[in-house]
């Protein structure tokens, strides 16, 4: 047996772990889990654990309901939120078909496939996210804020400091290092910045972080949400992603002699993001509500352009302090925290790599009076139209996920279109 598997078996025994939760996500990024007992661990490593995939969103396909979850022993982690005797641990899983071949609808596999492609070009992909979210009193349909705090506010306006602190402690126990955290611009809105890691680990981390934030909130009797735009009058929640590619041990984005210290490859990567930005938005912003955030006036990106400071630009090139080549990076600002991180990283990477492979020219920034940049899609429907005609997204996601996603999201859009909103009732009912 492999040592990493032996490590898991031994730790389960030594630490009295009673249940091992096998984790994976559906196509929309919802965490799915089933528990096995220690006695089944060896079988799980050897063959995978069988489950019925037909009820999982995006997994269903004719005659393909039987699937296997194969745990990745390097992700074995005892969960910090079950105190007491009954130890619970988790492992992320890869989903395979009964014949052992990877299941095309498994988002984790989709990302691994895209990372493999980057690897063949000599790159490893690093991501550092800023996770924004809201705390509300409960899950009711009218969000009830907990504070009136603003950006960087300290007590007593920031009553949620304690919740944030508990979350960070939980994250650190889970091996997810936190760079910083603060109260965000909107009332009851918070941000936790995670230290960058390779994209696969980071996608796992993000899924774990969302759960940890919600769990800690629940323990305190409140509700945490990653809904992109819960308060109409205030900034929504984004998931700004700091991106870099490393070639061997060198940051491929850094060139000390170049403008903005951005290497040729970094400029091409950004050019790829801008050119394909509209096509990937349905994935990075996958809900009807996501597009209520992507509007002017709320510090959210609306243009497929890049800049140092312009909040409307989808790509920002942060100014790095001192001579730290490893810190040179670009920030992609469109995604929101309710995305599926596996698929989001996949399409972002594909867009950037297309820029490098095809040597795209980086356009001027709007402030340098360049040509007017494309607008990002302003509705889910518009985003789906751009996505549907994109061979880049189709290749990045694979046919199965691509088709299921568009079908599922078109349905969502149709339901939304039929909905008679409060806006209409308040506006029209009294006068028409």
The beta-strand segments (E) located in 207-297 are: 223-225, 239-247, 250-251
Nearest CB to other proteins, comparing residues 24 and 306 = 24
Nearest CB to other proteins, comparing residues 215 and 229 = 215
Do the Cβ atoms of 297 and 340 come closer than 8 Å?
no
Cα 128 to Cα 240: distance, rounded to the nearest angstrom: 8
Query: Under the rule (CB under 8 A), what is the footprint of other proteins?
Result: 3-4, 6-11, 13-16, 18, 73-78, 80, 85, 87, 119, 124, 126, 171-173, 175-178, 195-198, 201, 246, 248-249, 326
Three-class DSSP category at 123: strand
Nearest CB to other proteins, comparing residues 100 and 177 = 177
Do the Cβ atoms of 108 and 71 come closer than 8 Å?
no
- As measured in angstroms, the least distance from the Cβ of 11 to other proteins is 6
- As measured in angstroms, the least distance from the Cβ of 166 to other proteins is 15
Cα 268 to Cα 186: distance, rounded to the nearest angstrom: 35
- As measured in angstroms, the least distance from the Cβ of 298 to other proteins is 33
Q: Which residues contact 291 (CB under 8 A, 6 or more apart)?
A: 285, 377, 378, 379, 380, 383
Query: Hey, what long-range contacts does 1-4 have (CB within 8 A, 24 or more apart)?
Result: 1/42, 1/45, 2/73, 4/73, 4/74
Structure tokens at 124: 């490893």
Three-class DSSP category at 222: coil
- As measured in angstroms, the least distance from the Cβ of 69 to other proteins is 19
- As measured in angstroms, the least distance from the Cβ of 80 to other proteins is 7
Nearest CB to other proteins, comparing residues 9 and 185 = 9
Nearest CB to other proteins, comparing residues 85 and 142 = 85
Nearest CB to other proteins, comparing residues 118 and 302 = 118
- As measured in angstroms, the least distance from the Cβ of 23 to other proteins is 14
- Backbone torsion region of residue 405, taken as left when φ is above 0, otherwise alpha when ψ lies between -120 and 50, otherwise beta: alpha
- As measured in angstroms, the least distance from the Cβ of 98 to other proteins is 28
Structure tokens at 12: 């389960």
- As measured in angstroms, the least distance from the Cβ of 350 to other proteins is 19
Cα 60 to Cα 332: distance, rounded to the nearest angstrom: 32
Start-to-end CA distance of the chain, whole Å, equals: 74
Nearest CB to other proteins, comparing residues 108 and 229 = 108
Instruction: Say what angle helices 341-357 and 264-284 make with each other, to 10 degrees.
Output: 140
Nearest CB to other proteins, comparing residues 97 and 201 = 201
């Amino acid at each position: 047996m492999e040592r990493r598997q032996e490590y898991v078996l031994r730790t389960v025994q030594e630490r009295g772990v009673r249940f091992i939760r096998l984790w994976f996500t559906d196509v929309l990024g919802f965490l799915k889990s089933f528990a096995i007992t220690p006695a089944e661990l060896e079988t799980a490593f050897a063959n995978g654990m069988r489950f019925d995939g037909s009820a999982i969103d995006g997994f269903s396909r004719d005659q393909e309901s039987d699937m296997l979850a194969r745990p990745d022993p390097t992700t074995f982690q005892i969960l910090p939120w079950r105190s007491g005797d009954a130890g619970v641990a988790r492992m992320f899983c890869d989903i395979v078909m009964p014949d052992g071949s990877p299941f095309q609808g498994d988002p984790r596999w989709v990302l691994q496939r895209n990372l493999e492609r980057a690897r063949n070009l000599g790159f490893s992909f690093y991501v550092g996210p800023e996770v924004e979210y809201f705390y509300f009193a409960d899950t009711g349909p009218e969000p009830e804020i907990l504070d009136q705090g603003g950006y960087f506010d300290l007590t007593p306006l920031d009553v949620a400091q304690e919740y944030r602190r508990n979350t960070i402690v939980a994250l650190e126990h889970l091996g997810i290092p936190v760079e910083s955290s603060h109260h965000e611009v909107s009332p009851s809105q918070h941000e936790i910045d995670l230290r960058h890691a390779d994209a696969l680990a980071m996608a796992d981390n993000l899924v774990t972080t969302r759960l940890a934030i919600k769990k800690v909130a629940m323990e305190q009797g409140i509700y945490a949400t990653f809904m992109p735009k819960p308060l109409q009058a205030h900034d929504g929640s984004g998931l700004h992603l700091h991106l870099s590619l490393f070639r061997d041990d060198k940051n491929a984005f850094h060139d000390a002699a170049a403008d903005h210290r951005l290497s040729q490859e970094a400029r091409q990567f950004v050019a790829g993001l801008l050119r394909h930005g509209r096509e990937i938005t349905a994935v990075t912003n996958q809900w009807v509500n996501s597009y209520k955030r992507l509007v002017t006036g709320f510090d959210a990106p609306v243009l497929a352009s890049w800049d140092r400071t312009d909040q409307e630009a989808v790509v920002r090139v942060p100014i790095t302090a001192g001579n730290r080549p490893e810190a040179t990076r670009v920030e992609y600002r469109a995604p929101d925290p309710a995305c599926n991180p596996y698929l989001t990283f996949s399409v972002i990477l594909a867009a950037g790599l297309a820029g490098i492979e095809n040597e795209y020219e980086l356009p001027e920034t709007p402030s340098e009076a360049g040509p007017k940049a494309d607008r990002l899609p302003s509705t889910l429907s518009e985003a789906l139209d751009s996505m549907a005609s994109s061979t880049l997204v189709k290749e990045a996601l694979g046919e199965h996920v691509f088709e299921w996603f568009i079908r599922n999201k078109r349905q969502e859009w149709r339901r939304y279109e039929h909905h008679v909103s409060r806006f209409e009732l308040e506006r029209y009912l009294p006068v028409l």
